[in-house]
Amino acid sequence: MRKEIYNHQENFINWMEKIDETQRIEGLNKEHSFLVISLIKDFKIGINVSIASKKGGRGYHRLNSLKQKIIFILKLLEKREIDDVTKITEKEIHQLFNDMREGV
């Protein structure tokens, strides 16, 4: 058994317990919080992973990494007054990543 020196499992479990109590992610609106929570729970058991990826649940390090990246992008979208990521246009998302690339 490998020793986990970075506490990825403990950090993820603590985050999930906090989320299960509040059903919200701090800094995100209700809809985005629900999307992130359901997506991360799906990844944990191996649902919604790419066809090209290995089947099965994702590890705690990967789950923490995905969680941080998704929350960061959703917070940037909310700063741009995009309150529902499901209704974003292709142009808006390309503009966001272009602005990130250029340091805007």
* Model pLDDT, residue 97: 96
- Residues 48-55 have a mean pLDDT of 86
The answer to whether 66 and 58 have CB atoms below 8 angstroms apart is yes
Q: To the nearest whole percent, how much of the chain has pLDDT over 90?
A: 82
- Listed by start position, the domains of the chain span 8-102
- Residues 44-73 have a mean pLDDT of 92
What pTM was computed for the model? 0.87
User: Where does the pLDDT of residue 92 fall: very low under 50, low under 70, confident under 90, or very high at 90 and above?
Assistant: very high
Q: What is the pLDDT of residues 7-34, one digit of tens each?
A: 999 999 999 999 989 989 999 999 999 9
Residue 20 sits at the vertex; the CA angle it makes with 9 and 71, to the nearest 5 degrees, is 70
* Model pLDDT, residue 4: 79
